[in-house]
Structures are given as structure tokens and as C-alpha cells.
A and B are shown apart, each in its own frame.
Chain A
Amino acid sequence: MPLQPFTASAALSMGVELELQLVNPTDFDLSASATDLLHLLARAKFPGDVKPEMTESMLEIATDVHTRHDELLAQLRRMRDALIAAGDRLNIAVCGGGTHPFQRWFDQRIFAKPRFEQLSGLYGYLAKQFTIFGQHVHIGCASADEALYLLHALNGYVPHFIALSASSPFFQGVDTLFDSARLNSVFAFPLSGRAPFLLKWPEFEHGYFAKMEKTGIVKSMKDFYWDIRPKPEFGTIELRVCDTPPHGRARGRTGRLPAGAVPHAAGAQRIAAGGG
């Protein structure tokens, strides 16, 4: 499947995706409950988008496209309240944080969906170790080239984003002495890391993506686990290095960070292009 064309979207619009932990309130270990919770959520209107993730003990929620921070935060709160209410009915607790402190990765069950099962076959145990919880921030870009430029301009801020959102010090029952241990599980994947330094979309599409597609490993942009990756179907770039914050207020705040950095980077682009 060739790369989808880049859909232009309003510059600096934003949306947030959060991966959340489903926890058993008895021993606070992860609970394989995504199917049950999704079933209940499907019966009423959910104030946002909700979908399964790699393993049964994860859930991903996503906001609509926003241009204002307070509205984004308000929607995140509504989603949180709806999730917690549904979780209470099923005896499931919903929890933030980038890693679960003591879950055992081999106890996790892959969510029964063709894509996840295919990934599990491809990556073996890495798929189960991918039971980690990130916050992904989408920033709207007016064109594909602007998206690539912004992506590389923001790459310089990746350490800042990691530092400011870090909330995964414990992993598999051990104090890692990292503040964000989650990213080490991402780095295990061969297609993680930085996007190739290409600034023109056709170059990226035909020169890079098409070549990768031929290997048979890559089918869509979803198969790259880069720190920041373009998302052509949304017309955004997606910042993926942040841990899911432990509580709602921090969620809104980290969501705002790239939004703060973006105009700075966008301005730099205009300067670079000689536009002033």
C-alpha cells in the first residue's frame, strides 16, 4: 500500500492521544480488561475516541482536533470521567503513568485484532514488552513539506519533552534509576529512533517510504516507531516520546508543550525560507 497523500490541516491545531493502564483494584496489577471495557463504552456515546492497544490491559483515548488548550483539557476531563465511571461498573481501575511499576510483561495478552496479532508474530516477545503507556501529541500542518520541516525542527526538543513528561521510574518491579524507563521498550524496536533527515515530501515518499515498503516489514506510517513521525492521513506530525502523565492536569500541560515550541520552529522555517 503506497503512502497516503498528505491531508492539509489547520496549522497549529492539535489533538492528544493517551494510552492508559487498566488495573485490577485488588492487587493493582494490570488487568486484561480492554475488551470488556470497550464493550461497555460502545453502549453509550463516548466524549472522544477510544480504541484498543497492543495488549488487553491497555486502552487508547484520543481527543478531537482543538485550537485552544482549555477546550482540549476540558475534553480530556470528560473522557476521563466517562472512563472512570465505566471502569467502576466493571471493577476496573484506570491509571496514568508511562509504565506499570510491577506488571510482568509475559503475563500480558495480545489484543485479538489482526494487526496486533501480526505485530506479535513479527516482533515476538517485544510485542508483549510493549505494554507501556505514552502520550502522543498531534500538531496540524498546512502542507507536507511544512510537516517534515517542523518534525526535524522539533527533533531538537525531544530531550526536553522527555524530561518534562517523564513518569516511568519503575519497571517490572525494579527502580530503574531512570525517570522515563518507558522509552527503552520503544528503542527495542528496529524501526524506532529518528525519522530520516529528508525535508521534501516526494523525496520521503518515493525515496524512503517506497524502499522500506519493499522490504515487506513496513505497510504504513504506523509501522515506524519514531520519536516524531508524520501522519499524512491526519495532516499532522505526531510527537510520541512523552510518558502518559499520572494525572489529568499534567496531561493538558504536556499537550501544550509542543504547541509552545511549534510557533518557534515554524518561525524558524519561515526565516530559513527567506520569508522573514
Chain B
Amino acid sequence: MPEYLLTILTSMAWPAALAIAWIAGEAGARWLSLPRISSYCVAGFCMAASQGGFLADVSGGTVALLADFAFALILFELGYRINLRWLRADPWLGVTSVVEAAGTFAAVFMLARAFAVPVVPSLLLAALAMSTSPAAVLRVANELRSSGQVTERLLHLSAFNCVITVVVFKAVIGYWILASAGSIFQAAWSSLVVVAVSAGIGALFGVAVPALLRTIGGVDRNATVAFAVAALLLTALTQAFKFSPLLAALVFGLVARHRRVILSQAQRNFGALGDLLTVLLFVFVAASLEWKQVVTGTGLALAVVAVRLAVKMGTTTLFARLSGIPWRKGALTGLAMTPMSVFVILLLEHTRHLKLGALDQIAGVAAIVLLLEVVGPIVTQRALMWAGEANRMTGR
């Protein structure tokens, strides 16, 4: 009988966790004006088995696939909002992106070396630090219904630095495999081929799905479900073949946008489906962290967070006027780019099969992730509010 009860309780764990996290999110939003995702993270972290909670080991399995799917929806939406023609109209945007990513990489690498972290983990840490988590920025921007230059630039720079991160991260992994195992084939496969094929599959979906929608007709009615199903398929496919679901989903959105199928307002965040999966995603990510790992790298983590913020803010401020916006909005764009957690955790999750133990090896990552997971969205939220881009009730 107790065993039977245990099975029931185990199968209840995730739904219960989602319910608790959701309530925490609403409470945080109502009483503390916190972004909901910050509260989801705190709840998820506390409920994880490693913290004595009831959520068992979350790696692999169905929940991981669902988390990937949730993130794929977000990346698709982000990709969809990226206007590549903007790079031509304002070349300084591209310059800002490359300089902030390269600058962060260099600064964090040097910092990690100064903390006596070995070369390869330093490179990986530097690569991860370049990224701004699209999940956090997009959720916060949508929650505030913000619009304006800080919002637009934040989303574009976030998409660009994620692509740069995936490419550099895979390249470093390739180098690592080459250095440790000496297999050129495996090295090339884990880096170049993975990047190219993932982007290729994403692009293929980006062409095929809009074409299919046009054939079926009723684009405005069917688009949300069709794109969600396609994102699910894409996630399962890329995960099964060990490609990068992240890059594929981003490219999918990017190509779909340029095929001119318009997602209407109501479909932002993929509606209630997106909201539900976001709870799961953030609980999952926070639950994959262990207190032990968090504590070990705190010093390095704080330094990385500070340096990363300084480089990003410095760069966006430096190029603000050239890019046509005031200094202040430039600085706020850099500030809003603080979150990095979800992207990093899922990227690491996808290298699990390589048995590199990345999360243990790259000192400080767990601490950075937890810190920015909770604080990052709050910083983004404040930056958008300070920029006057949040949609608040006026006239009262």
C-alpha cells in the first residue's frame, strides 16, 4: 500500500510543482510587482530534490522534452520578431551586437583564467556568458507589453548573441573533443555539422510550414496551432538526432517571418499554451541546479555577472548615439540584457550526451544561472520601466 501511494505521489510531483510555482508567480506579481518568471524559478529551485524538495532528478525524459518545446516556442517567437533588414538600415546595430558579444567573451575568459579556471572550461564559460536569455527578455517584454527602442534592440541583440553563443559554444566543444579524444570526426560532428544541420532543419521548417498554411488556408485561424505543432515536431526531431533544438527553433522563426505569414496580437506568447509551458520551463531550469554547485562558484559568479553587465552596458551605451538613440536608452538596453539562465541550462542539457559533465566542470555557472534566473528578469523589468516603454495605465 505505501508503495502504491508513493507511485501516485511521484506522478503527482510535476503537476503539483507547476501549481505551486504558478501561485508563487501570481503572488509575487501582485504583492511585490516581480516578474512572474522570477518567482517560478525560486519555487522550482526550492522544490528540487537536491534541495530536499519532492521534484526528482529532472534531466532527460519527458519533462526535459517539454521544457525544450516551451523554449522552442519562445525562440520561434523571438526569431519571428527579428527584422534582418534592420541590420542593413542601421549597421551600428550589427556592430553593437558583435562588439558586445566579443567583448563579453574576452572579458569573461580573462576573468575565469584569473580565477585559475582551466582553459577549456574558461572558454565555455565565456561563450555562455555572451548570451542573453531570450525566454526572460521576451516574457518580461510581453508581460509589460512594452514597445520602443530598448525593447526592440533588446530582442534583436538577444537573438544575435544567442546565435553567436551556440556557434562559439559548439566550436569550443569541438575543440575540447579534439583535444581530449583526438577524433576529428567526432569534433567536427559536434560543432560544425550540428550547427549547420540544426540551422538547415529550422530553415526547412520555416519555408515548409508557411507554404503548408497557405495551401490549407485560414492562416489567421490556424497559424498559432500550426506553428506550435511544428515547433514540437522540430524539438523532438532535433533532440532525437542530437542536434540543437535552440538554433533550429530560432532559425525557424526567422525564416517564417520572412515568408510573410503574420502572427496576430492574440497569438503573442502562444496564448495560454505558452503561459503554461513557461511555468514548466522555468521550474525545470531552476530545479536542475544543486545548492552544492551554486555555493562553490559564488565568488567567480559575482565577478562574471559584474563584468558581463559592465561590458554589455558599456558597448550599448558607446554605440547608442551612432545607432540613433539617446545615451540613456543605450545604457538601459545593456542593463536589460542581464538575464542568461534558461538558454545556458538548455544548451548544457544538450551536451549531456557527450558525458563532459559541463555543469560540474564549468565552475560558477550554476551560481550565475541561479542568480540571474531570479534577478535577471527583475533587472530587465526595471530597465524597460525606466525607459518609459512599459504599458502602464495612464490618465488616472
Could you tell me which A residues sit within 8 Å of B by CB distance?
A: 24-29, 31-33, 35-36, 39-40, 43, 86, 88-91, 102, 104, 107, 109-110, 112, 117, 120-121, 124, 127-128
Q: A87 — nearest CB in chain B belongs to which residue? A: B89
Residue B360 lies at the interface, judged by CB distance under 8 Å to chain A: no
**Chain B interface helix/strand/loop/mixed:** loop
Q: A27-B265, A90-B325 are in contact. List 5 more A-B contacts (CB 8 A).
A: A39-B326, A88-B89, A107-B391, A117-B395, A121-B396
Contacts of B264 in A (CB 8 A): 27, 102
Q: Is the CB of B325 within 8 A of A102?
A: no
Residue B81 lies at the interface, judged by CB distance under 8 Å to chain A: yes
**Could you tell me the distance in whole angstroms from the C-beta of A214 to the nearest C-beta in chain B?**
25
Q: Is the CB of A120 within 8 A of B395?
A: yes
Residue B388 lies at the interface, judged by CB distance under 8 Å to chain A: yes
Residue B262 lies at the interface, judged by CB distance under 8 Å to chain A: yes
Can you show 14 pairs from A to B with CB atoms below 8 A apart?
Answer: A24-B147, A25-B83, A27-B263, A27-B265, A29-B265, A32-B391, A33-B147, A36-B329, A89-B324, A107-B391, A109-B391, A110-B394, A112-B388, A117-B395
Of A29, A117, A127, which is in contact with the most chain B CB atoms at under 10 Å from its CB? A29
Q: A127 — nearest CB in chain B belongs to which residue? A: B395
Contacts of A89 in B (CB 8 A): 89-90, 323-324
Q: Which residue of B86, B148, B324, B394 is within 8 Å of A40 (Cβ)?
A: B324
Residue B139 lies at the interface, judged by CB distance under 8 Å to chain A: no
Q: Is the CB of B394 within 8 A of A117?
A: yes
Contacts of A24 in B (CB 8 A): 147
Q: A33 — nearest CB in chain B belongs to which residue? A: B148
**Could you tell me the distance in whole angstroms from the C-beta of B226 to the nearest C-beta in chain A?**
17
Q: A40 — nearest CB in chain B belongs to which residue? A: B324
* A80, B90: Cα distance in complex, Å: 19
Q: A43 — nearest CB in chain B belongs to which residue? A: B324
Residue B257 lies at the interface, judged by CB distance under 8 Å to chain A: yes
**Could you tell me the distance in whole angstroms from the C-beta of B319 to the nearest C-beta in chain A?**
13
Q: A119 — nearest CB in chain B belongs to which residue? A: B395
Interface size class, chain B:
20 to 34
**Could you tell me the distance in whole angstroms from the C-beta of B303 to the nearest C-beta in chain A?**
34
* A27, B224: Cα distance in complex, Å: 14
Residue B389 lies at the interface, judged by CB distance under 8 Å to chain A: yes
Q: Which residue of A26, A32, A102 is within 8 Å of B148 (Cβ)?
A: A32
Which residues of B in the span 290-308 have a Cβ within 8 Å of any Cβ on A?
Answer: none
Which residues of B in the span 323-350 have a Cβ within 8 Å of any Cβ on A?
Answer: 323-326, 329
Question: Given A36-B329, A88-B89, A112-B388 in contact, is the A28-B262 Cβ separation under 8 Å?
Answer: yes
Residue B152 lies at the interface, judged by CB distance under 8 Å to chain A: yes
Residue B113 lies at the interface, judged by CB distance under 8 Å to chain A: no
Contacts of A91 in B (CB 8 A): 83, 86, 89-90, 152, 156
Residue B45 lies at the interface, judged by CB distance under 8 Å to chain A: no
Residue B80 lies at the interface, judged by CB distance under 8 Å to chain A: yes
The 4 closest A-B pairs by CB, nearest first: A120-B395, A88-B89, A36-B149, A89-B324
Q: Which residue of A25, A33, A43, A121 is within 8 Å of B395 (Cβ)?
A: A121
